[in-house]
Chains A and B, each alone.
Chain A
C-alpha cells in the first residue's frame, strides 16, 4: 500500500511541477548541500548498506564521486533505495538527482521516459542461475522450467524473448523486489533465477547454500548499466557523464589514490589537464579546477572502485572482462579531457 501512495505522489508531482527538469539541478544540489542518489534496495557490489549502515558499491561510488567533485566531500550524498519498478518514476518526479542503480540503457528508456543515460559504468549481460543438483549444462535445457525474476526490469523482457526465440515453454513468476525474488528461488518456487550476471553473483551470496547453485554459461543479452539523469538539464548531464569519464581517464593515465601526489607534480600534459594543474576544464563543467583530484582522493579511479566492490578485492570476485580499459582488452573507453 505504501508503494501505491508513493506512486500516486510521484505521479502528482510530475503532473504539477512546472518545468521540473530545467537547468537547475546543480544549483538545487548546491543549495541543498547534499546530492540525492537513487540506488537499489541492497545489491552487494553495486549498492548495498554494510553492517554499519554505510552504502557501498560501484554505483554508490559514482554518486560519491559526483558529490566529491561538487562539494569536495564524498559523504554529502543521501541514498534513496528504489525497487526496479519505481526507480524511473522517482527520477522523473525530481525525488532524486541521479539514478545510479544497475539500470540498463535501452532506446525506449532513453527516449520516452524523459530521461538520459549519461554513460556506461558497467557492461553486463543477462544469465541464469540454477541448482547444481539439476545437472544442467545449458540454458537450452530449460524447457518447461519455472523462472523467478524481478518486475520492471529488462530481465523480464529478455527472458520472454529468449524462450520465445527458442520456442521453449516456461513459467515466469515476477516479484516486485529482489528480496522476494531471491526468497522464492531459495524456497524452491522456481527452478531458475535470472538477472544480469553481475547480480547473479551478488544475489547468490544471499542464498542459504551459495555453493549449491551454479550460473549457466549462456549470456542472453547486452546490459549496459549506467547512471541516469532527467532529460533537459545538459549541464547536469555533463557533470554525471564526465565524472565517470574522469575516473576512466585517471585509470588509463595511472592516476590513483596512491599516485595522486606524484600526478600533481607530473609534467605530462594529459595528466596536468586531468588533475587541473593546466587548463580550466573543471570550471567549464561548472565545477572547480581540482574536481578530478577531489574524486580520486576521496573515491579513487575506475579500476580501484571496480576492484574493491565487484572485482578480485571483493566477495563477488568478478573478472574485469569487458569492463577492462580499451587498451587492456576491454571496452571501457573515455573521451579525452582537453
Chain B
C-alpha cells in the first residue's frame, strides 16, 4: 500500500522530464534569462565605458534648458524650456503629421484604388498612372520636390497669393484666419458638440430601425439641421461671439492667423500621396478578392453600382485590406522621420538630432527614440487588429 503512491510519484517525475510543454517552458526561460543577462551586461558595460570616457550619462538632462528655438509647436514652447519639453514638442509634431498623413493617405488611397477599377477609361488610366508614378519614386525625393520645387517656388510674403485677402500662400507657408472666441462662444461650441452627438445617435437609431422595419429615415437632412442649423441659431442668439483674426503682412512676414509652415505642408503632402499609392493597390486587391457573384447578386437585388460597392463589396474587402493597410500606416509614421531632410521639427530632428548633439547622450536618446517609435507602432497595430477582429465577426 505504501509502495504505490511512491511509484506514482517517480513515474510522474520521470514523465515531467519528457513532457514537451514543461520542457519548452524550461528552455524558453533559460533563453529569456540569457537575454536579460546580456541586456544587463550591455547596460553595465556601456555605463562603465561612458564614465571612463567622461561622457555624461543618465536621464538628468531632461530637466536642463534646451536653449534653442523650434518653429512649430502644438504646446507653448520657448527657448528657456527644458529638453523634456522639447521631447514633447517633437513627439506631438511627429504624431500630428502622422495622424493627418494617415487620414489623408487613406482617403486618397481608397479613391484611387476604386478609381483604378472604374469602368471609365479615363479615370482608370489616371488612377493607374498615379500609382505607377508615385510609388516608383523615392520618398525623400518627393519630399524635396514638394518642399523646394512647389512650395519653395511660391512668391515671397510681400507678393503672396491670396484668397479673398483672408488666406495667403507664400514661401513662408499658408496662413489662414484664426478663430477668436469671445464670451458666449462656449454656448455655440456646446450646441455644435450636442448636434454632432445627436447625429451619431440618430445614425445608430436609423440603422437599427431600418434593419427591423425596412423603413428609411432622412438622416442626411436631419444631420445638416443638427450640425449646421442649431449652432447657427445659437450663434445668432448669443450675438455672434465668434470672430476671425485675419493675417496681416507686417515687416518680414504675416502676423496673426494660423500659419502652416511649408516644411509641414510639404512633408504632409509627400507622405500622404506616397502612402496613398500603396494603399490604392491594397484596396484594389481587396476589392478584386471579393467574388464577382457578390456584386452581381447586389445588382440583381436592384442596388445601384455605388451602393453595391459601399454596402456589399467594400465591407467584405475590408477583411483583406486591413492587415496590409496597418503596415502602410506604420510605414507612414516611421517615414515621417525623413522630416530632418527639410527642417520639420519632428521627434527625430529635435530630439534624436539637436538634443543628442547638444547633450552628447547618444545611447539614452536613441534608446528613448526607438522606444517611442516602437510604442506608436504597437498602439497603431493594436487598434487596427481590434478593428480587424470586429470586422471578422461580421462573417456568417
**Chain A residues engaging chain B, CB cutoff 8 angstroms:** 1, 3-4, 7-8, 10-11, 14-21, 84-86, 88-89, 92, 108-109, 111-114, 142-146, 151-152, 156-157, 159-161, 163-164, 170-176, 180, 183-184, 187-189, 191, 230-232
Contacts and interface: CB of A to CB of B under 8 A. Distances in A.
Interface in B30-54: 42, 45-46, 49-50, 52-54
A151 B251 CA distance: 26
B331 interface: no
A113 B362 contact: no
A164 to B, nearest CB: 6
B4 to A, nearest CB: 59
Contacts of B250: 144
Contacts of A14: 46, 49-50, 53, 55, 362-363
26 contacts: A7-B356, A10-B362, A11-B362, A14-B55, A14-B362, A15-B49, A15-B50, A15-B363, A88-B357, A143-B251, A144-B250, A157-B67, A160-B79, A161-B67, A163-B69, A164-B78, A164-B80, A171-B253, A171-B261, A173-B71, A174-B68, A175-B342, A176-B340, A180-B342, A189-B152, A232-B52
Given A17-B49, A88-B357, A145-B252, 9 more contacts: A7-B362, A92-B53, A144-B251, A144-B255, A152-B353, A157-B67, A171-B71, A174-B345, A232-B52
Given A16-B45, A146-B253, A187 B171 contact: yes
Most chain A CB inside 10 Å of its own CB: which residue of B49, B251, B263 = B49
Nearest to B140: A1
Contact of A187 (B71, B152, B356, B357): B152
A161 B80 CA distance: 9
B68 A160 contact: yes
Given A14-B49, A20-B53, A173-B71, A85 B354 contact: yes
Interface in B114-146: none
A92 B360 contact: yes
Given A112-B359, A113-B360, A180-B343, A19 B49 contact: yes
A299 to B, nearest CB: 30
B354 A11 contact: no
A188 B55 contact: no
B352 interface: yes
Contacts of B362: 7, 10-11, 14, 89, 92
Enumerate the 9 nearest inter-chain pairs by beta-carbon distance, A residue then B residue, closest first. Answer: A152-B357, A114-B55, A15-B46, A113-B360, A112-B56, A114-B53, A160-B79, A172-B69, A11-B362
Given A14-B49, A191-B252, A174 B263 contact: no
Most chain B CB inside 10 Å of its own CB: which residue of A17, A84, A85 = A85
Nearest to B362: A11
Secondary structure type dominating chain A contacts: mixed
Nearest to B348: A4
Contact of A11 (B56, B252, B358, B363): B363
Nearest to B171: A188
Contacts of A84: 357
B44 to A, nearest CB: 10
Interface in B366-384: 366
B111 interface: no
Nearest to B51: A114
A232 B337 CA distance: 35
A187 B79 CA distance: 27
A22 B55 CA distance: 14
A112 B55 CA distance: 5
Contact of A146 (B55, B252, B358, B359): B252
Interface string B334-353: 00011011110100110011
A113 to B, nearest CB: 4
B42 A144 contact: no
A152 B49 contact: no
Contacts of B303: none
B242 to A, nearest CB: 26
A92 B46 CA distance: 13
Contact of B53 (A21, A151, A176, A188): A21
B148 interface: yes
Given A156-B354, A173-B71, A232-B52, A7 B366 contact: yes
B172 interface: yes
A154 to B, nearest CB: 10
Interface in B292-317: none
B364 to A, nearest CB: 9
Interface string B318-346: 00000000000000000001101111010
Contacts of A11: 362-363, 366
Nearest to A189: B171
A113 B358 CA distance: 9
Contacts of B50: 14-15, 114
Contacts of B345: 174
B70 interface: yes
B128 to A, nearest CB: 29
Contacts of A142: 252
B113 interface: no
Given A18-B49, A113-B360, A159 B366 contact: no
B262 interface: yes
A160 B65 CA distance: 12
Nearest to A18: B49
B267 to A, nearest CB: 13
Nearest to A116: B54
B241 interface: no
Contacts of B356: 7, 85, 89
A98 to B, nearest CB: 16
Nearest to B42: A15
B156 interface: yes
Contacts of A231: 53-54
Nearest to B70: A172
B152 A151 contact: no
Contacts of A4: 337, 348
B343 A173 contact: yes
Contacts of B349: 151, 174, 176
Contacts of B69: 156, 159-160, 163, 170, 172
Contacts of B80: 164
A184 B343 contact: yes
A231 B360 CA distance: 14
Contacts of B56: 112-113
Interface string B256-274: 0000011100000000000
